[in-house]
Structure 1
Amino acid sequence: MPTLLRVPVATVLVIVSTVLHVTPLLLIAIVKACLPVAFIRRGCNVLLMAIAASWIAVNSALIHVLTRVRFAVDIDASLRRDGHYLVLANHQSWVDIPVLQAIFNRRIPLLRFFLKSQLFWVPLLGLAWWALDFPFMKRYSKETLAKHPELAGRDIEATRRACEKFRHIPVSVMNFVEGTRLTAEKYRKQESPFLNLLRPKAGGVAFVLNALGDALHSILDVTIVYPEGHSTLKDLFTDRISEVRVHVRELPIPVEIATGNYETDPAAREKAQAWINELWLQKDVRIAAMRMGVGG
């Protein structure tokens, strides 16, 4: 299909799929909220997950049909649809999200991201994320916290509340550990010690492990590489990405971090930072190997 046709066709089909899936999502979510009876909520959850899986499957099929991108995926993990996972990944592009959804859909529970509170107002998608129990986080700048110190810790409390809900359902908690997408400008500004990555942030990982550690089965460490360099969603649907390489490995829950208190204990904070930095050193080496076509 010519590029001039592919992009508008893809846009229309994605919008149609979104409307067709979000509409029943919202109706079921309203029933779930209005009738807080245990068996009704369980039934609604099953329907919500089925619709979400269908939505992701359609979007993945559109990528397969409208582009020639090849997913080279190496999975060294035992995946369960009823599992409880913390999924950690490097973050380079918005393409990362459909890639992750495509490789994990119907293999592990729905990936749930911690979202900025402003994203709730994204038309249709914000309500869909709310219906699917994606946690919304309100981040405060250092300047705001200096003026209003009473706001400190609210994002942490929101993390705890979300994690408490996740204890009772199969879940895959998704964390882009760098906290933002990799760009040359961010890389220079951070003076990153890694060749292929931004500095990792241990706090979010530590909070989730502390809140959910005993309920999690394992960690899925995901490495995503675009051999042709930085790639965007526009690149994807204009067929400028020929291959995406993904490596997945399963790691045990680090007990010393799951049982520590990152917020108040300096020793626990140091252990968490050392663990995530070692993980990132290994990932940095793996990315270099994957770019050369060597297995993870």
Structure 2
Amino acid sequence: MTTPTTGSLRVNGATLHYEARGQGPLLLLIPGGTGGAASFDGVVDGLAAEYTVATYDPRGMSRSALDDPDAEQRVAEHADDAFRLLHLLSPDKPARVFGASSGAIVALHLLTTRPQHLERVVAHEPPVVEVLPDAAEHRELIARVQATFRTQGLMPAMAVFAAGLKKDGDTAEPKAEIELPPQAAARARQTMADLPYFIGRIVPGFMSYVPDIRRLEALSDRLVLACGQDSRGELPYRPAAFLAERLGTELQHFRGGHTGLTTHPAEFGELLRTSLRA
């Protein structure tokens, strides 16, 4: 791993930890879930050969502390955080942005509200379930997850959430876990501490977000919607596929599933480089 330059940025209600490495036009990587900046460890060096790559821990995650730990989390505020990083690191030139999962929702909002600062956006499986015809079912899922979290705790809530993300009719037993490299395994253990925040704050705030489809249509030449090739039929896959069809754009398929960034970093990083150039 290339040693990054690290810094902190004061934003409304939080202090963000960010890292930058490489040279060239700015590429901002927005993590999803509880991964933080470290979720991009497998791809940053390859990308830094072509870009100045900036990664960060979203507000409330890992090293990016909230002023109020109980504050409600909104997509618009997270997108403003990303914009402030763009402005700090590339004040005069538009940047490229990649977002994964909840980070892809942030990237979509950033595109629709700050398009003049963006050259290209790649959004991998943004779970914007409100665009789907069966959105009401997914609202019920989110409500069940929150109720379970309040009454039974974190792991039962995570089980309800995971079951809701499966393919329709998938009742198979969970597959054996993929053995991760030591660095990735250590990162996974560290991010467990962020799960209560994720399930209690990010999931309800982000999965109720409604993207501005008309604005996305107008900006579709700058947007790449992407999914994991192993995710077909799963809930995070469906909104991206729906939006790609609605916008009349090609849906890119990356190696692996929803977490292909971690399980197939080399192939994922190479296709991301291609998608950012096109």
TM-score (norm 1): 0.33
Tell me which structure has the larger Cα radius of gyration.
1
Higher helix share: 1
TM-score (norm 2): 0.35
